[in-house]
Amino acid sequence: MHGHAHQEGVHPHSSWFGCGWFFASPRACLEDVVRDARDAAHFSAHIAGMVHTRSAKAWAQQAASRSAEALDQSTNALKEIMRAEAWQNTMPLVAPAWEERRRRVDFL
């Protein structure tokens, strides 16, 4: 997880402030999970292609499949967190207009 700290769009100390021991962020943790699941799916697919022993190949293929599923699920969770954050960030813009509308209705 911590080997990705210098990738584009990631804070250089994300392991300290993102998904670390202190000030953990669900979004930062999910970003780490997505990267790790992508790596696991990628490398286990490579291994499945390199191995010729049937039983080992089957296990590697299963690992690749489950890693791809984990990637899909964690990506969906990350998108949902980002959607929720976007909604929360718009609330300061929407709340004053909503409050003004509520006051007008209460006055009538």
62 is written with which tokens?
A: 């299963």
Tens-digit pLDDT string for the chain (108 aa) = 444 444 544 544 445 567 877 778 889 999 999 999 999 999 999 999 999 999 999 999 999 999 999 999 999 999 999 998 888 887 766 666 666 666 666 555
Residue 85: C-alpha distances to residues 25, 27, 90, 100 (Å): 12, 9, 9, 24
> pTM for this one?
0.66
How much of the chain, in percent, has pLDDT values that exceed 90?
51
